[in-house]
Chains A and B, each alone.
Chain A
């Protein structure tokens, strides 16, 4: 039991930090432009696929750098020639635009990379168990992912709070007019932040591809979860996004590891239900089954009881 919990915690932290790589870009883009980017997870997927393709020629390490740059550039183009054009029509149109973009990217990946899962492997350099605990291996690659994710978080935090650009970005999220009137190029800032956010998402994709699988559905499975995180964390809050990422990562990981459910509860309460009870599905629910549902349950409860999120400043 305890070994399963320790591994679940490690895996949960890892998923959480990966999710944060995605959520940080999404929340930054939201706080600047007021638009939740549906295609964010698609950039994540593109990152994994580009890295796989580039890796065929160069190996893992150059791809780790090149793929995010490529996808970041694509993100910047999308902002400059797509989103900005739609911006005039309001937030609903923007949301619908990014939704369509996600659809296109998923279809494009299906069409040009094929519907099967790519054999995208971690680099040979990191393909060894870092340590063995209770007879179970913890791969070095996962530790590398943890380190990179942590590094990105610290780096992002430093950039946003210590550098001039970071301060301008922060100011632009709350007082765009003032920033614009001080002579800063707000549209260019939007393009940069959108591109950087996409690059971060792609980096998460490059890292996650070998572990979570590189397949055309990876954006869809992750996309909604990242939305959940951004909403639970409070739209626009970086700290909130980090906490919500870890929360969701751990919650899902624990739920899978802890094989408890309604039967145990009922047993503990001493209640019995006939096997063919009409609500038998409910009496048989267990946590591993519920793991994929938990984030959405959390989202709905959050939106009902605390719509501004954990650290939210804005109201929808």
Chain B
């Protein structure tokens, strides 16, 4: 029963969130989150579970999306053919077929070679999408009306709320299926091939076939996510299959934590939030996102989930509270230092203009101000550094169970 609990929480959150955030913007963000979750999970099926670093995963997302857009367009022209609820399925099958075609040669090797092929194909398709105007719609993209399908138990999917219902069901089902995949022999062998392809071959497995299977399943869910995206936006442009979109999904999975099933979910939720909320507060949010990503790769290779999981051991020992004081002690100078850096970056960005930062007005272009900020950063950094040994010691006591 215990392993059903997370699924209950997941289903309940999907169910309750639209009531907590009923505004148009709220529902729109929730839709984007649901789509991002499916996309990021499908990506991690390659990176985290199969050891395949892809820089072109948006290809399957985009192709699925364009297929969905064409399906909607077709219904606009020829009348309702099949239910709109099945559009993600159509898109998924499109993604699956594309993955089968491309995977048949790209999965021969993992590592750098795979990464390069995925990048090359991503760029190739992005460039082609601007040439093949008939299918990709050129600069304008392809738009379709999602409300023209046959009536589905009174739903015509004209409103975002109804689309959310559809996206939530698809997201829950996709997440469950992708989780179950990790429990199948195919999913476990994907881990084995990630770790040691040669040994897997000597156990009688064709390594390429193991990778291809993951790749194709991942392509299906990426395509389905693209289909949901097309339903949500009712327009699809070349942006969706660009390498920038591929990079975005890598960020989601990595920041969330590629070593855990739940990691990409956390990453997808967080990045969608940052994307839609933080961008209202600062022009520099993409820079901050990039810096956080690089810092994650350097200091939290297991992502945010890994950071959370580190606390399980102290919690089981009942020593979590012993970490509170050292954490607070470090947090104060750390926060001061980081906000100092942010203030510096913001004033630099606004070159000479006044900046309102954290409610404080910082007149730009005054040397004394800059000096003050730099001084604060330096002092805070020094104090931060000084607080670390105590934190480290507290950690050791808490994880190894040694009492002070």
Q: Which residues of A contact B (CB under 8 A)?
A: 36, 82, 85-86, 89, 91-93, 95-97, 99-101, 103-104, 106-108, 110-112, 220, 224, 227-228, 231, 235, 278-282, 285, 289-290, 292-293, 296-297, 299-300, 303-304, 307, 315-316
| Contact call B254/A293, Cβ cutoff below 8 A | no
Cβ-closest 8 pairs across A and B: A316-B113, A296-B124, A104-B290, A107-B287, A299-B120, A100-B294, A103-B290, A281-B132
B21 partner residues in chain A, CB cutoff 8 A: none
Residue of A nearest to B136 (CB): A281
Q: Is the CB of B291 closer than 8 A to any CB of chain A?
A: yes
Q: Are A103's CB and B134's CB within 8 A?
A: no
A-B pairs with beta carbons under 8 Å apart, 18 shown? A86-B297, A92-B47, A92-B111, A96-B297, A99-B247, A100-B294, A104-B291, A104-B293, A107-B284, A108-B287, A110-B287, A224-B119, A224-B123, A227-B120, A292-B127, A296-B127, A303-B113, A303-B117
* B81 CB, min distance to chain A CBs, angstroms: 18
Q: Does the CB pair B247–A293 fall under 8 Å? A: no
Closest-by-CB residue of A relative to B132 is: A281
Name A227's contact: one of B53, B105, B114, B119 (CB within 8 Å).
B119
A137 to B16, CA, bound (A): 69
Contact status B116-A299, CB under 8 Å: yes
Residues of A within 8 A of B348 (CB): 112
* Beta-carbon contact of B116 and A36 below 8 Å: yes
Interface residues of B (CB under 8 A from A): 47, 51, 53, 55, 105-106, 108-109, 111-117, 119-121, 123-124, 127-128, 131-135, 243, 247, 250-251, 254, 283-284, 286-287, 289-291, 293-294, 297-298, 301, 345, 348-349
CA distance A231 to B293 in the complex (A): 27
Do A300 and B117 touch across chains, with their CB atoms under 8 A apart? yes
Kindly provide the distance from the CB of B303 to the nearest chain A CB, expressed in whole angstroms: 11
Known: A224-B119, A316-B109. A293 touches B128 (CB 8 A): yes
Q: Inside 8 A of A300's CB, which chain B residues have their CB?
A: 117, 120-121, 124
Q: Which residues of the partner chain A approach B251 to less than 8 Å between Cβ atoms?
A: 100
Assess whether A281 is in contact with B115, with CB atoms less than 8 Å apart: no
Would B294 and A111 count as touching, CB distance under 8 A? Answer: no
A299 CA to B117 CA in the complex, in Å?
8
State in angstroms the CA–CA spacing of A36 and B114 once bound together. 13
> Is A111 within 8 A of B53, CB to CB?
no
* Majority SS at the chain A contact face: helix
Using A103-B293, A296-B121 as known contacts, say yes or no to A316 and B111 having CB atoms under 8 A apart.
yes
Find out whether the CB atom of B120 lies under 8 angstroms from the CB atom of A95: no
Question: Are B109 and A307 interface neighbours, CB within 8 A?
Answer: yes
> B7 → chain A, closest Cβ, in Å?
30
Q: Are A307 and B112 closer than 8 Å at their CB atoms? A: no
Q: Which residues of B contact A99 (CB under 8 A)?
A: 55, 247, 250
Beyond A299-B116, A307-B109, whether A97 also contacts B124 by CB under 8 A is: no
CB-based contact A89/B131 at 8 Å:
no
Q: How far does the alpha carbon of A278 sit from the alpha carbon of B131 in the complex, in Å?
A: 14
Partner of A96, one of B113, B121, B250: B250
Given A91-B112, A101-B294, A281-B135, 16 further pairs, Cβ under 8 A: A36-B112, A82-B294, A82-B298, A86-B297, A95-B112, A95-B115, A97-B298, A99-B247, A104-B291, A110-B286, A224-B123, A227-B119, A299-B117, A299-B124, A303-B106, A316-B111
